[in-house]
Structure 1
């Protein structure tokens, strides 16, 4: 069986950051990379993917406008 990532159809953009990232970074550190190195606003709804040095793991950063209490 083959599995694929199917993002929400209204997700406008998906970016893969090409340089390896220290996976000890929290979402704040990843958001800083998005802002400072890519020049993007991490709160605009795009999905950002980061890999570690060995390229065997992935971390995703996505800011969604939803409330879990609804």
Structure 2
């Protein structure tokens, strides 16, 4: 997925995925202390790290992107480290594709075989 060269603000820790655009806008204002109407992406993840939402203002309305993994999970920073992080679009793509890459890189365990 390509998002261009917009700044990306990641909400560390978990977010209630029942929140819609208005709820996420409130989080952006209070947690990030930012204006949700800026030209940026705001990224949120749920507790089990298998769902991700991205909020984006495009000038005349909000986009809400949603991804649900069927297997695996996103590598996500905890809120103990920071409340928010800033990424670039390439780092966001790596984060989103990371679960797919992790699954692809997993190998079956090689068990020891006795040679007779």
* Contiguous gaps of at least 5 residues in structure 1: none
Q: Which has the higher strand share?
A: 2
Q: Residue 46 of structure 1 aligns with which residue?
A: 40
Give the structure 2 partner of residue 18 of structure 1: 12
TM-score (norm 1): 0.78
Unaligned runs of 5+ in 2: 62-116
Count of equivalent residues: 61
SS in 2 for 1:35: helix
Larger radius of gyration between Structure 1 and Structure 2: 2
State the TM-score, normalized to the length of structure 2: 0.49
Shift, 1:66, TM fit? 4.7
Q: Deviations over 1:19-64 (max 9, x none)?
A: 2111111110001000011100010111011000000110010010
RMSD: 1.5
Determine the C-alpha separation between the residues in 2 that align with 1:34 and 1:50.
10
